Structure 1
């Protein structure tokens, strides 16, 4: 799916809209150096983001979503395909940078990249090792959309939010599921509160394990939420049985967390050490 096909539905997409107070669970400290997945998982796709500093993310793996229309969430940034907003740092990380600057009628810039048309998969373990930005109004996310979104629209296509995070609440991450009859503020999801630390202070591994009729969310190898078709609202349909593609982005502002204020320091960066995808070993 090309960028030109993506943009019309993205302009109207109400993605990542959550109820911040719903389903919050407080857990003990989570180690940030988990072991590798067990032998039941077989690696099938990865990007380790190795390369010279300033190199853009691989065009063989990633497509840029370019635009500044709010993405259905009243976001304030213009997402570009410039290396100033998304590039490798030369030490094995992808860096997505939100900047305060005037650009194409917006007061902020950032980046949003996806694997549509490059890589899509049904079921498996999807994980990324990420160090979060921080500050009011900063909204990074690692998520997936059904590859048929261009044909059936959102939320019919399904959306799996592996991680979203509000910069003003740096000890909380959220995992969510959006589909027909359970989207936006009525999604199925849960928050994970880390005690004794903040997610911007170090790298952490965010993952889902997606199986037929079951999706499980993990932070640093510790499961904190799981859902199945049995948890859907009455009459709602489970649409998570077809390929999804991966998205990484950093939004500025939006209806999930509000705008930046005078305390927000720019630029802010989300650093991604890797993205890896596994299937169940035969």
Structure 2
């Protein structure tokens, strides 16, 4: 995402840091999982509630925008205002920090101007750690667009944009993160492959969310009340620790020709 991410996390989450992010927990504390969203496990997931990530965000995270129904996670962005925000929106994050491995989610992504639907990993200022982040972000300032990106110690200008169909179908979004390399996949097909030394290297939490803006218009456009409600549907999400292979049949790691150390 853009350089504002670290600042907006600071402004909203610092007060939450001691409760949500235990001090001194700097290493990976979570193992592999497959989440079918039959329920929303409080042991695995934390629901963001009662704050926004900064002034740029026109919605407030609220628990009512997070639902599980018929085996799917539903994250919504609605016109139900909360506190000083015109809209309310949904986000979940893993309780655990997860290290190198494969992060995946099968999602039906909505597109609207001024809206960001996403699956990403993050650690940073709220945990007193350098900013590390890996992104799948779906925006639509001019057309449905996927932005893949990573952030590492203040370097956030690593975005790649590609057009996406707005056909309301489920797709599997995966990235394989290993020392010195990140690969992004859609339905098992490689979209981007990066190697180098200046890549994320700290355990991170996995997030899935949907949110809106009325200020980041040069990047996303401005969200209109007429666009609400919007719903990001998630069939399943998963993490496979590096070194484990094909832990469940839907994984990109089960595809022929995937090179995994």
> Same fold by TM-score, threshold 0.5 exceeded?
yes
Q: Compared with structure 1, are the counterparts of its residues 106 and 257 closer, same or farther at alpha carbon in structure 2 (3 Å cutoff)? A: same
Pair 252,98 (structure 1): closer, same or farther in 2 beyond 3 Å = same
Once the two structures are superposed, residues 6-26 of structure 1 have per-residue CA deviations (whole angstroms, 9 ceiling, x without a partner) of: x9736279xxxxxxxxxxxxx
Asked if 1 retains the 8 angstrom alpha-carbon contact of 2:102 and 2:176, the reply is: yes
Who is 1:260 aligned against? Answer: 223
TM-score with structure 2 setting the length? 0.75
Structure 1 residue ranges, 4+ long, deviating more than 3 angstroms after superposition: 167-171
Cα separation, partners in 2 of 1:96 and 1:223, compared to 1, 3 Å: same
Q: 1:135 aligns with which of 107, 112, 115?
A: 112
- 1:102 Cα shift? 2.4
> 2:222 is paired with a residue of what secondary structure?
coil
Matches within 5 A, 1:1-282: 9=10, 11=12, 44-51=32-39, 57-69=40-52, 71-72=53-54, 74-82=56-64, 85-90=65-70, 92-115=71-94, 118-146=95-123, 149-152=126-129, 156-161=130-135, 163-168=136-141, 171-183=144-156, 187-194=157-164, 197-198=165-166, 200-229=167-196, 238=198, 240-253=200-213, 255=216, 256-261=219-224, 264-279=226-241, 280-281=243-244
Equivalent in the alignment of 1:24: none
Tell me which of the two structures has the higher relative contact order, counting C-alpha pairs closer than 8 angstroms and 6 or more residues apart: 1
Contact 1:216 1:223 in 2 (8 A): yes
SS at match of 1:102: coil
What's the secondary structure of 2:81's corresponding residue? strand
Q: d(CA) in 2 for partners of 1:281 and 1:8? A: 32
Structure 1 residue 193 displacement after superposition: 2.2
Structure 1 unaligned segments of length 5 or more: list them: 1-6, 14-42, 52-56, 231-237
CA distance in 2, matches of 1:135, 1:240: 29
**Alignment correspondent of 2:4:** none
Q: Report the count of equivalent residues.
A: 218
The structure carrying a bigger helix percent of its residues is 2
> Is contact 2:151-2:199 (8 Å) kept?
no
SS at 2:182's partner residue?
strand
Cα distance change on mapping 1:258 and 1:192 into 2, 3 Å: closer
Offset of 1:158 from its aligned partner?
A: 0.6
